[in-house]
Amino acid sequence: MALNVVIMAAGKGTRMRSARPKVLHTLAGQSLLQHVLQRAAALQPQRTLVITGHEAEQVERHVSATAPEVRCVRQQPQLGTGHAVLQASPALDASAGTTLILNGDVPLIEPATAQALATACGGERLALLTVTLDDPTGYGRIVRSADGTQVQAIVEHKDASEAQRAIREVYTGMMAAPTAALQRWVAALKNDNAQQEYYLTDIVAMAVAEGVPVVAASAADETEVLGVNSPAQLADLERRLQRRQAQALLEAGVRLADPARFDQRGTLACGQDVEIDVNCLFEGTVSLGDGVRVGANCVIRNATIAAGAVIHPFTHIDGDKDGVTVGEGALIGPFARLRPGAVLGREVHIGNFVEVKNSTLANGAKANHLAYLGDATVGERVNYGAGSITANYDGANKHRTVIGADVHVGSNCVLIAPVTLGEGGTIGGGSTISKDTPPGQLTVARARQVSLGGWTRPKKAPKP
Ligand code: UD1
Ligand code: MG
């Protein structure tokens, strides 16, 4: 079905008490508007329009960065929801017979529900998404015929009579309308009401007067139609979404220690028998292979973790743009930090207070304590001692350190890049290595130890 989608996002969002436009606040790591845009894109509309107004430039930049095919239409000033749709009216694709109206601050609308609404319209009927609430205060009420079958109008809370205020079926702010009729109706709206606004909801009575059928579809789950007006509502929706994501993982067999203490801001793919302890945060694109265990309080972003790896508590893995790869059976942490471009082979061990950035560690390499590996290529089975670091940055340029297979780097070494350590060599503890080292030999680069027999400690002068 050919479809236009209009997303209303011009409102101010006063109750957020924020300098940031409301629709750019984030839910599970992405903006409210992005949630709506993604869900709208699932319907493959002919055209999608976002109505901007308050902080329009900022919202428009966000739209062009995240959904370049979407057009923005300015509404200046904001004279109500009907006035908003009127601004979009000339930009609607006339060949798309149905226009679906969504809200930029109602992020969790299910594509299936939006599709059902568009289908109920079918280019011929006015389809309203409604929900029945225990407390309908503030919402537009669905006024029906005496026998309850026909929708006759939507009356805004502020304009409603006492009897109408008792109605618990309300308009969610989402509807689908025949495109040509919608264009005609919004052009004819008046603002003679309590708020002196052009109400989009007044088109219902116009449709009824013209004999256009008005149908109401109801949302399966109230979470789908909840809007965000305040930080408290945003936090509530975040928990609902997190709970839902956690539930899906549990159903897929992932063992979350506590679904209430789990956060996923992006996509998380899990193999079989994955275990995730409490307070872990997954961001961007993360994949956990079969049998991966993640300890408590880990933050993992843009990373691929192979089967059987164990991530001990308090580990921070941030792949950012380059990603992080952890090989099969690797042991990471506790308190480890893996940064962009860390590529770890099978059974690599990275222990506490070890930082790895833009470095490859081949199978079985180990850096167990207090170390830094930056811009390094580390061979198989290397043992990298406690307190050792690569000095990879000369203040202007970054240089590589290459450590051959089976090298043992003692404790507290400084490897001044560019430098290559030959295979099977040993570097004595405390060495500062500034030249390449030969394979198979012990290299020591530190002052020779001396002991002086005739030396006496200085003594303090006696107090006068
Ligand atoms: C609207 C509906 C009401 C419904 C409720 C559901 C109207 C007249 N009323 O009321 O029946 O129950 O939503 O939440 O439509 N916006 C613009 N330009 C404007 C005004 C608003 O783009 O000039 C946008 C807002 O950013 C928001 C949406 O339209 O995304 C709804 O506006 P809002 O002011 O929240 O309408 P309500 O009074 O809540
Ligand atoms: Mg509202």
**Is residue 89 one of the residues assigned to a domain?**
yes
Confirm or deny that 392 is annotated as ligand binding: yes
* Same-domain check for residues 79 and 146: yes
Query: What Å distances lie between residue 80 and 112, 193, 195, 226, 302, CA to CA?
Result: 28, 11, 9, 20, 41
Q: Could you tell me the distance, in angstroms and rounded to a whole number, from the CA of residue 228 to the centre of ligand 2?
A: 8
Determine the atom of ligand 1 nearest the C-alpha atom of 156: 11
**Span from the CA of 198 to the centroid of ligand 1 (angstroms):** 10
**Longest Cα separation, the chain:** 113
Residue 464 lies in a domain: no
Strand, coil or helix: 162? helix
- Does 185 map to a domain? yes
State the CATH number of the domain containing residue 337.
2.160.10.10
3-state SS, one letter per residue, for 89-157? HHHCCCCCCEEEEEECCCCCCCHHHHHHHHHHHCCCCEEEEEEECCCCCCCCEEEECCCCCCEEEEECH
Report the predicted TM-score, pTM, of the whole model to 2 decimal places. 0.92
CA 405, CA 23: separation in Å to the nearest integer? 53
The verdict on 184 and 270 lying in the same domain is no
Report the DSSP pairing between strands 419-421 and 337-338.
unpaired
3 state DSSP class of 34: helix
Helix (H, G, I), strand (E, B) or coil at 357: strand
Task: Assess whether 87 and 205 both reside in one domain.
Answer: yes
In three-state secondary structure terms, 322 is: coil
pLDDT at 1 exceeding the cut of 90: no
φ, ψ at 241 (rounded to 5°) = -65, -45
Considering the domain architecture, whether residues 329 and 200 belong to the same structural domain is answered as: no
pLDDT of residue 24 exceeding 90, the answer is yes
Looking at this protein, which amino acid is placed at residue 141?
A: R
- Ligand with smallest separation from the Cα of 160: 1
pLDDT surpasses 90 at 33: yes
Give CA–CA dist 37/49, Å, rounded. 10
The predicted-structure confidence for 119-154, as pLDDT tens digits, reads as follows 999 999 999 999 999 999 999 999 999 999 999 999
Residue 369 appears among annotated catalytic residues = yes
Asked if the structure places residue 456 within a domain, the reply is: no
Question: What whole-number distance in Å separates Cα of residue 277 and Cα of residue 219?
Answer: 34
> 156 CB less than 6 Å from ligand 1?
yes
Mean pLDDT of 274-289: 98
Would 243 be classed as within a structural domain? no
CATH code for the domain in which residue 217 is found: 3.90.550.10
For residue 31, give its domain range: 3-225
Question: What is the tally of structural domains in the chain?
Answer: 2
* Residues 258, 183 share a domain: no
Domain shared by 209 and 122, yes or no: yes
Query: Backbone phi, then psi, for 113, in 5-degree steps?
Result: -70, -45
Asked whether residue 414 is assigned to any structural domain, the reply reads: yes
CA atoms within 13 A on the CB side of 69: 11
Asked if residue 398 has pLDDT above 90, the reply is yes
- Residues 95, 195, single domain; the answer is yes
Band of pLDDT at residue 65, cut at 50, 70 and 90: very high
Q: Are 172 and 131 in contact (CB under 8 A)?
A: yes
pLDDT at residue 213, rounded to an integer: 97
Supply the DSSP symbol for 396. Answer: S
Q: What is the pLDDT of residues 68-102, one digit of tens each?
A: 999 999 999 999 999 999 999 999 999 999 999 99
Write the residue with the smallest CA distance to atom 3 of ligand 1. 140
